[in-house]
A = this chain, B = another copy of it.
Amino acid sequence: MNILEKIANELDTFSKSERKVAEVIMASPNTVIHASIAALAKQANISEPTVNRFCRRLDTKGYPDFKLHLAQSLANGTPYVNRHVDENDTADEYTAKIFESTMANLEMARKSLDTNTINRSVDLLTQANKISFFGLGASAVVAHDAQNKFFRFNVPVVYFDDILMQRMSAINSRQGDVVVLISHTGRTKSLVEVATLAKENDATVIGITSEGTPLAKECSIVLSLDVAEDTDLYMPMASRIAQLVLIDILATGFTLRRGTKFRDNLKKVKDSLRSSRFDRKDV
């Protein structure tokens, strides 16, 4: 797909003149996309028809079409990447880097998510008698957020970020209850124990964690999110953002499954907040 890669690949199938064009293009593709066929021909010391033939050899309609492909390759070549924050970065720089890494990781997480699993999870959540969200540390924040969302749906929902409360809650769970356990590493001992306890009490255990971890092994369903490790500053960053987006997805799936009337209800919940707020006209 990427035409620059294609050029590099097929370099040996090119003729002498074609190779000259290829080299000029690869040397500064960003200049080429703004050059006319005449300019490029001159730059490569070959004739214009040769450039044109070169373009066609790469399965494009002609020179302008080739430029289009090239432009797209360049745009694609620099997607959101995980750029690491550097000690001497200015506010401008680290701000840009953090936004970009977050987005790169979201893209990554999106690709790794299995929508069938999402569908099954939504099924289970809509049918649950009670939903519990447990996490520790940064994942506690995600659990907190999940409670905030699902609470609006008027389903029994609890959230604990305390190990003992989590254990007690797990022991008290029963068939029909859904326990959602959140842990990026999937190696937090106490959370794995909670999973085991909940399972022993016939609750359904959904894990928002990485594949193949001790926690994953104890779960009925695993929603796994691939995210590049947040090694930079020893703080969870992208992983929890991806988890939160996953919560949004589950919550959205939940409301869609519940139908229109249910969504009217959501509006009421939101409207109920009005009296606690300053009116827009007050401003």
Q: Taking beta carbons and an 8 Å cutoff, which residues of A are in contact with B?
A: 33-34, 61, 64-65, 67-68, 71-77, 79-80, 85, 87, 89-92, 94-96, 98-99, 102-103, 106-107, 109-110, 113, 115-116, 118-119, 122, 137-138, 140-141, 144-145, 148-149, 152, 185, 187-190, 192, 212-214, 232-235, 237, 240-241, 244-245, 248-249, 251-253, 255-256, 260, 263, 266-267, 269-270, 273, 276-280, 282-283
Cα of A266 to Cα of B99 in the assembled complex, Å: 22
Within 8 Å CB of A141, what residues of B?
141, 144-145, 148
Given contacts A103-B103, A106-B103, A241-B241, contact A148 B152 (CB under 8 A): no
Q: In the bound complex, do residue B234 and residue A269 qualify as a contact, i.e. CB atoms below 8 Å apart?
A: yes
Minimal beta-carbon separation of A48 from chain B (angstroms): 16
Within 8 Å CB of A67, what residues of B?
64, 68
Nearest 3 Cβ contacts at the A-B interface: A72-B75, A75-B75, A187-B277
Given contacts A115-B95, A234-B270, contact A276 B65 (CB under 8 A): no
Q: In the bound complex, do residue A94 and residue B278 qualify as a contact, i.e. CB atoms below 8 Å apart?
A: no
Summarize A's interface: helix, strand, loop or mixed. helix
Cα of A192 to Cα of B48 in the assembled complex, Å: 66
Cα of A283 to Cα of B232 in the assembled complex, Å: 25
Q: In the bound complex, do residue A144 and residue B149 qualify as a contact, i.e. CB atoms below 8 Å apart?
A: no
Minimal beta-carbon separation of A112 from chain B (angstroms): 11
Q: In the bound complex, do residue B278 and residue A87 qualify as a contact, i.e. CB atoms below 8 Å apart?
A: no
Give 21 A-B contacts (CB < 8 Å), ordered by A residue: A64-B67, A67-B68, A72-B72, A75-B76, A90-B115, A91-B119, A91-B122, A94-B253, A95-B110, A95-B249, A106-B106, A152-B235, A187-B277, A189-B276, A212-B283, A213-B278, A214-B282, A233-B251, A233-B252, A235-B248, A241-B241
